[in-house]
Structure 1
Amino acid sequence: MIRLIMWIALIMATIWFFKRLVRGTVSRAKSQPPELAAAPMVRCAQCGVHVPQDRALSSGQQWYCSEPHRLQGPATRER
């Protein structure tokens, strides 16, 4: 009985190893999608939230996250 269990365990281990070996080579062969370039982030001069530069509003050298913050202007930093 022990011999039968050992043979079954050996066969199962061989099948598992073979499947893992085959699956590993197939997944490596697939090409990875190219990474998307990250958009540059800017900080809102009023509230300090970081937003993508293409969605931010600029006024001079300052960047803002929304129109109300642009109208308020840069915040005074007292810390």
Structure 2
Amino acid sequence: MVVAAQPTRGVDVGSIEFIHNQLIAARDAGGAVLLVSAELDEILSLSDRVAVMFGGKIVAILDANEAERGLVGRLMAGLSA
């Protein structure tokens, strides 16, 4: 299992690509990857599932195909889907 918390914060573009590729490789090798990031685009582009939190609690778990920016944003703000 890989736990990556803010893995690309403060790094250059080349390093971001390298980090993303390492996370994808870990997933493709059958490992579990838990990505915690404030970068919504990063989450949406790398995740198979997205757990959305509001008020310290998980309010939704979405498959990647249903986790669109507007819906995730509303859930993060405590609004209903």
Which structure is richer in relative contact order (CA contacts within 8 A, separation 6 or more)?
2
> Under a length normalisation based on structure 1, what TM-score does the superposition of the two structures give?
0.24
> Under a length normalisation based on structure 2, what TM-score does the superposition of the two structures give?
0.24
**Greater strand content:** 2
